Amino acid sequence: MDQRPVRIANFSGYLGDRATAIDEVMAGDPVDVLVGDYLAEITLAGLVAAHRADPSAGYVPVFVDQLRPHLGAMAERGLKVVTNAGGFNPAALASVLREEAQRAGVELSVAHVEGDAVFDRLDELVAAGHRLDNLDDGAPIAGWRATPVAANAYLGGWGITAALAAGADIVVCGRVTDASLITGPAAWWHGWGREDFDALAGAVVAGHVIECGPQAVGGNFSGFTGIGDLRRPGFPVAEIVADGTAVITKHARDGGTVTVDTVTAQLVYEIQGPQYLNPDVTVDLQHVRLDQDAPDRVRVSGATGAPPPPTTKVAAFGVVGHRVVGTVFATGTEVPAKVELLRSQLDLDRPDGVTVTVTQVGVPADDPETQWEATVALRVLATAPDATTLADYNLVRRLGSLYLQSFPGIFHDGASVLQGRPVPIVDYWPGLLPTAALAHRAVLADGTALEIGPPERTQSPAQPVHPEPDAAPESVPTVSVPLGVVAHARSGDKGGNSNVGIWAADAAAWPWLRRFLSTDEVRRLFPDAKGLDIVRHEFPELRAVHFVFRGLLGTGGSSNDRIDQVGKAVGEYLRSRVVPVPESVLSTTATEARR
């Protein structure tokens, strides 16, 4: 097997990512494998309805449109493509791609990976004693408030590896872990075995960095003002060598940049602590090191691996109600009284079972220079257990009837149409299931099924406990500035938990940052976390403090009522908080934090 680094290029970070991404990657620097991630947890919830309405659907049709123009070039260059665009129906997507290749007159072998769909086996699994305990609170799925409509286990990368080794050019998956899209090709390329844990751990880290596309090259980055032209950031490439170390880079022709900070931002994104669990390996992130080898080239090393856990996560979804959302605006003074009047008017004749929540977004400026500086949005959310009750309440009609009888100046965006149709609230259940209970297999173009057995060795890892920092000296002169002047942050979601990583842009700020960001201090800075369990960890190599806010997102992004549904802006909110920074730290690091 060729031992040069395998070059794996991402072309999608989620369903809805830039549709021209494959065009751009195909026109970019030479690569060996293209990978596309479409299945965020909240995306799976959205695909449920399509699959229930039409069992032949449930995959991502836009992927076919993206790939179609490039089938000939892919065959000519010998490129491999791996994607989870199969969603709930990878076999159907694989069949469609074979038809596309035939129409294009090119020889491309398409395989799919299956075994993640366990919905039809739920009763059997529960009867066999598998409780599918909730990952967060340990409760069995039998006590879930929802009736499941879909359930998919997170598979590892060995089905992908097997398909590629059998000659597949395109491998279509359903719910594999995001990093499996990268570990599968890396293991195939380098000939790794299932117990090459350190190499696998390095590939998982590289996969975690590039799985979200442009985020690794400056997208959604708190230091975006220092990047330059960020109008169309490119998609990242991971060059993974045989020992699992990697270089993260990008196509030279594309926008954005790859720096230690842009890679750090992705490393601390959507993790639950230093132990990063994957069905193929348990990754220890505590000693991961990032080095800027050259412009737009960051070396990632230091990851170590251990046997994977005996269980994998099952993402189950069920409908728990319906909701309708409308937005009106309030301007000027006495906004709290205006909100209260609106709320009380919407409560009149409200049927039993309907809940209405009015959320004020923003605060009017003092002495505003424009009307819009004086205006705030009022988001109105109505929910009910069933669609009929909610439709009868008719939130849009009620809002529309208040324009002559509510608070002064009430209006809605005249260029938009309020949508009154109730939509389902899809709840999320992250259950645990032994990997040995899965029927993981790769299915080749001729129907041959390659069975992927469970790992021979497993272990039950636990997150380390990091002590709270000692209090900072009180006599040090400080200046009150936003935390973001000296620190970057990135936040995201895992089920009902929101996480945020906050790191020092310069080594000189790290000793202060780790002392300052205690759990109590973060709880003070982030009042939304009042009453929540907060887990704190430190990553000294990354100069980062990491927090998990358990339950901030309810039971998951698809069902919670927060406007910031999956916690994307929590980090930026924390960076906006004014904190006392030592003068000595500020003088040496303020410029660095803006880069």
Q: Examine the domain organization and report whether 35 and 97 are in the same domain.
A: yes
Q: Do 260 and 351 share a structural domain?
A: no
Contact 269, 489 (CB under 8 A): no
Rounded CA separation 376/370 (Å): 13
User: Are residues 403 and 526 both part of a single domain?
Assistant: no
Task: Give the list of residues 6+ apart from residue 371 with CB closer than 8 angstroms, or none.
Answer: 331
Residue 458 is assigned to a structural domain of this protein: no
Residue 329 sits in a domain whose CATH number is: 3.30.70
The 3-state DSSP class for residue 35 equals strand
pLDDT at 594: 43
**Residues 224, 333 within the same domain:** no
Same domain, 411 and 487: no
Q: Which range of residues forms the domain containing residue 186?
A: 6-115+154-309
Give the bridge partners for 547, in sequence order: 500, 536
Is residue 31, in this structure, part of any structural domain at all?
yes
According to the model, what pLDDT value does residue 46 have?
74
Question: Could you write out the DSSP letters of every residue in 254-293?
Answer: SBS---HHHHHHHHTTT--SSEEE-SS-EEE-TT-EEEEE
Residue 449 CA to residue 159 CA, distance in Å, equals 10
* Beta-carbon-side half-sphere exposure of residue 464 (alpha carbons within 13 Å): 14
292 and 421 assigned to the same domain: no
Contact between 353 and 384 (Cβ < 8 Å)? yes
Residue that finishes a domain, picked among 410, 427, 444: 427
The continuous run of DSSP H or E covering 545 comes out as strand 544-550
**For residue 38, is it within any domain?**
yes
Residue 79 lies in a domain: yes
For residues 360 and 400, is the Cβ–Cβ distance under 8 A? no
Q: Tell whether 462 is covered by a domain.
A: no
**What is d(CA 423, CA 30) in angstroms, rounded to the nearest whole number?**
44
Same domain, 222 and 256: yes
User: Do the beta carbons of residue 488 and residue 539 sit within 8 Å?
Assistant: no
432 part of a folded domain: no
Give the single-character DSSP code of 252. Answer: T
Write phi, then psi, for 119 (nearest 5 degrees).
-60, -45
Q: At what angle do helices 158-165 and 180-190 cross, to 10 degrees?
A: 40
> Is residue 556, in this structure, part of any structural domain at all?
yes
Residues 158 and 278 in one domain: yes
- Of 213, 148, 224, nearest in space to 8 by CA: 213
Last residue of a domain, one of 309, 331, 361: 309
- Same structural domain, 208 and 265: yes
* Per-residue pLDDT, 418: 77
- The total number of residues shown for the chain amounts to 595
Can you name the residues that pair with 431 across neighbouring β-strands? Answer: 134, 314
Residue 568 lies in a domain: yes
In this prediction, residue 590 carries a pLDDT of 57
Q: Which of 309, 333, 366 is the last residue of a domain?
A: 309
DSSP state of 374: G
Instruction: State whether 501 and 412 are in the same domain.
Output: no
Please tell me whether residues 95 and 213 are part of one structural domain. Answer: yes
Which DSSP string corresponds to 65-120?
Answer: HHHGGGHHHHHHHT-EEEE-TTTT-HHHHHHHHHHHHHHHT----EEEEE--B-GG
Number of folded domains in the chain?
3
The answer to whether the beta carbons of residues 80 and 102 sit under 8 Å apart is no
Helices 180-190 and 197-210 cross at an angle (nearest 10°) of 130
Are residues 166 and 211 located together in one domain of the fold? yes
The H or E element containing residue 204 is helix 197-210
What string of pLDDT tens digits covers the 595 residues of the chain?
A: 458 999 999 999 999 999 999 999 999 999 999 999 999 877 777 787 777 788 888 899 999 999 999 999 999 999 999 999 999 999 999 999 999 999 999 999 999 999 999 999 999 999 999 999 999 999 999 999 999 999 999 999 999 999 999 999 999 999 999 999 999 999 999 999 999 999 999 999 999 999 999 999 999 999 999 998 899 999 999 999 999 999 999 999 999 999 999 999 999 999 999 999 999 999 999 999 999 999 999 999 999 999 999 999 999 999 999 999 999 999 999 999 999 999 999 999 999 999 999 999 999 999 999 999 999 999 999 999 999 999 999 999 999 999 999 999 999 998 887 778 999 999 999 999 999 999 999 999 999 999 999 999 999 989 999 999 998 777 889 999 999 999 999 999 988 999 999 999 899 999 999 999 999 999 999 999 989 999 999 999 999 999 999 999 998 888 888 999 999 999 999 999 999 999 999 987 754 444 4
